[in-house]
Structure 1
């Protein structure tokens, strides 16, 4: 029998749980067959519960090194905008090699928590003085190297960042490492073309309507190959919404849809502050809302309009953004809990035909996250990447459970790790909760953090 098989007593398909499923994959890491009603062999590996790996649709990897450093109150009111000033100062100090080390630590942690793909919204392109490296894709390449090292799948999104605010305000001095034009981003995309394979895709990301003009965005999208993903921050903070109205007479999502052809390639990150017409437009476009609950909570962004968006059949996924958390479970749990706190109700994220909240959110985030990556991931299906996680069926919380009860328990029953093994492209990267190169990655990260802390 081929060594590239795994027998799952229960496997999560897009249609729900199925019993006695054998997964087959080839040497390049793609599923070749999903065998149903299989008979287990005593000579093959058998596991209890398998889910597709989750896609993390929004990441700024370097910010992982800041986690915990900004949780001290200032003399005046703190907000996203005061946090952003601290982030800018931090970004000015990091070298390309430190970016690689930080990204490797992050990606290892994400893998251990069930993420098998990540979308890297990468905007630190220049050197600390604001000059270009000899290779304009230097920092992008270092982050891709970290993904290759850890084994996580990646969608690299070089970020267009030209202005400090609406009305084409010039960049601040502390934004000098982000400064890019449409032509420069396209040159980075071209330089990274050789990196594209089954594990890595390359798209683009206009940072926001504050940092890129609508004309620039249209030019960038028109020049991009037609099948590549496009991500953008939008309507994260009310200050941003109000500034957009003052500058253009339109709300951010309204302005985007009035000036761009938004479709399935787009991921609208945060989209926290939406009105009814914007919700309808996003849902109709079949774009993905990129919800980053732990970061949005950490930064005080607000609550996504989840019930209305679900009612409009909108697509969504989860991301860890600033990486105050690296947990699939925490993002999904707090996506629901935030809505409960807001409405003073329970079991908000459900639809007719799927009343199990964890199952509904898990499946939606699998599908939306996969779409946002632009890669063949997100389901146990022939032709897709063999990316999946194995839950620990020996954990007391999961022992003797039927499959339909598993996700409710994983998401809503405490903080013990219940993801045991993680495979990407058919490779076992996390076994019994540990990444295969965890010690070396952590040691490099410890050294990197000593260097960075010595600068403060």
Structure 2
């Protein structure tokens, strides 16, 4: 039995003081008691720790390497994409494991409890599968064992180079699988996570409407069953134009017309939606997986969060390219983008919830849904996915209630994070991962081997 005690805690029922939580050996919250005497591990402010809904782990090693302008004055996502293709041709399974462990360590130190890995780097340079088609997936799973982070693994189906079903180009060839090969990859990936803790999950991920055939989406839905199904959607103007030319409909229109949607569906980015698409997708029950730091970096556009929430939409948040892993900054960037677009303040607050509280509640609920993870709240029966904030942080002194979240997100940063538990595994103490030294050392060796890949 593990016991955690907090001066203040955000429970499912609201804020409480002097909270004692018992955690079972299986990593579930067994009891929650307010106004309890201090006992066990003590922390200042205890919060539910959300899942990171979208990550491409290997891209972390590219951070800071793509900030030069390309030969075209209108440098964009598409030139960044070419640089990414060149980089990934250097990566070996050993590199991917070391990078993934480092990424997961940073996520835990930022307050995330679990990682939803949108995993599409499958094969050897040149496109030949490894002897084990799920070799790279096994490396992601091994990294999760190292870090203690919860994992929802999404093997990605990536078959075509565009809506016209053209063959994959040289940079994409390591991603590619036919439907049959993808079925084998998925089955072997499920085997790869079978030795992980019981809180780990698997899902299905058709990469995008450019990379899979629209008529195959029903196949992906059948394969997913009750598990999560994630897909990139409506991220870039050129993508929207290509899909309209091929199908006569915009991406979100096509999805709404052809898929039966619910809360296990997560559509990533959705930064290029018209108002009717925003309203329709929000009302469908699907979750929008937002990655505001990456979306800002790539110039994707601004998600219409105000309209989305007004129509009952759900969100989760992810670090995507992992160029900067910061839970607080993802939430801050999301809200500030709305303010800049609409010339407003506290754009996502409501009369009853502050901005920080509304966003934090939303990403916990949405992250639990799209990771198929029984977390998102400090309540009996939930996974003990928890983050502690240092109550002595200068910006938290004297703060109570929802103001704690507002100060964490808008005045502070992830340096406030003191402790993180993933399914009861206490992986971050005093702001540092318990295996930080070994993980950083392995990552440093990898970066030296990769050298100047770009």
Relative to the length of structure 2, the TM-score reads 0.96
SS in 2 for 1:149: helix
Number of matched pairs: 450
346, 355, 363: which one aligns with 1:357:
355
Task: Verify: 1:165 aligned to 2:158, yes or no.
Answer: no
- Please say if residues 122 and 136 of structure 2, whose CA atoms lie closer than 8 Å, have aligned partners that are also in contact: yes
Q: Unpaired runs of 5+ in structure 1?
A: none
Partner of 1:30: 28
128, 131, 135: which one aligns with 1:134:
131
Partner of 1:396: 394
Q: Distance in 1 between matches of 2:176 and 2:160?
A: 8
Shift of 1:40: 0.8
Q: Distance in 2 between matches of 1:418 and 1:146?
A: 25
79 and 88 in structure 1: CA distance in 2 versus 1, 3 angstrom threshold: same
- Equivalent positions of 1:210-359 (< 5 A) are 210-224=210-224, 226-354=225-353, 356-359=354-357
Q: Distance in 2 between matches of 1:323 and 1:414?
A: 20
14, 17, 20: which one aligns with 1:16:
14
Q: Distance in 2 between matches of 1:39 and 1:221?
A: 47
- Please say if residues 328 and 414 of structure 2, whose CA atoms lie closer than 8 Å, have aligned partners that are also in contact: no
SS in 1 for 2:395: coil
Partner of 1:5: 3
Shift of 1:251: 0.2
Q: Distance in 2 between matches of 1:411 and 1:451?
A: 36
- Please say if residues 116 and 371 of structure 2, whose CA atoms lie closer than 8 Å, have aligned partners that are also in contact: yes
What's the RMSD between the two structures over aligned residues?
A: 1.4
48, 52, 61: which one aligns with 2:48:
52
Most deviating of 186-195 and 93-102: 186-195
Q: Unpaired runs of 5+ in structure 2?
A: none
Q: Distance in 2 between matches of 1:407 and 1:257?
A: 35
SS in 1 for 2:394: coil
- Please say if residues 272 and 305 of structure 1, whose CA atoms lie closer than 8 Å, have aligned partners that are also in contact: yes
- Please say if residues 125 and 132 of structure 1, whose CA atoms lie closer than 8 Å, have aligned partners that are also in contact: yes
SS in 2 for 1:280: helix
SS in 2 for 1:330: helix
Shift of 1:416: 6.7
SS in 1 for 2:43: strand
Q: Distance in 2 between matches of 1:38 and 1:345?
A: 40
Task: Verify: 1:430 aligned to 2:428, yes or no.
Answer: yes
Task: Verify: 1:96 aligned to 2:93, yes or no.
Answer: yes
For residues 402-450 of structure 1, the C-alpha deviation after alignment (integer angstroms, 9 at most, x for no partner) is 2332111101114471111111121221111111110111111111001
- Please say if residues 54 and 328 of structure 1, whose CA atoms lie closer than 8 Å, have aligned partners that are also in contact: no
Task: Verify: 1:115 aligned to 2:119, yes or no.
Answer: no
Partner of 1:64: 60
Relative to the length of structure 1, the TM-score reads 0.96
Shift of 1:181: 1.9
For residues 352-377 of structure 1, the C-alpha deviation after alignment (integer angstroms, 9 at most, x for no partner) is 322x1111111101111111101111
SS in 2 for 1:397: helix
Partner of 2:172: 175
Task: Verify: 1:75 aligned to 2:71, yes or no.
Answer: yes
- Please say if residues 111 and 414 of structure 2, whose CA atoms lie closer than 8 Å, have aligned partners that are also in contact: no
SS in 1 for 2:329: helix
Please list every run of at least 4 consecutive aligned residues from structure 1 whose deviation after the TM superposition is greater than 6 angstroms. Answer: none
